[in-house]
Amino acid sequence: MAITPKIKELVTLALSDRVLTNTERHTIVAAAMQDGIAETEINEYINSALRIRLQSYTKEQLQHCPFCGAQTPLVSDECLFCGKPLNNNMQPSGATTPPPFIQSREADIIRGENLRTAQQSHDVKNYLLRYDQEIEHTKRQKSQILKRFTTGVIVFFAILIMVIFIAFVGIILE
């Protein structure tokens, strides 16, 4: 059976934030099966759409699933292809295309997942910003300490040279 427009819109909505969660996949598969579409057929369609969507990622935004080897966005908690858990929680930037507007229980579930993913992205960006600020602060502190140390060493050697010079002049004058 052909994929219905409703299912295509759900897939587009689910991929609009460039992340497909297991909840979104299960919701789409359940809706497709209610429309009489075979589970293997809808999964093939989702995987095909996901492969196309993954092409919009940069290499740094992807990881390889340790179980099946598929490329998966860093934000994914689970592999988008085999469903096994992943350990990375980094997330790429938001959507590049606006999601379609459809009304259904499934669309509401997918929108909720998109909001959760966006919040995780915001949290990660804030964490990285604070981390970068701490690194810059630490660099400034190290620079100040190094300047103080260098000044101290220069003053020490200047005093040492003066003492040696005074001692040498004292020996010559005696």
Residue spans of the chain under pLDDT 50: 88-96
Distance CA 12, CA 46 (A): 9
pLDDT value at residue 3? 92
Q: Is the pTM higher than 0.85?
A: no
| 10-60 pLDDT tens trace | 998 888 877 788 888 899 999 999 999 999 999 999 988 888 887 777 766
The 3-state DSSP class for residue 121 equals: helix
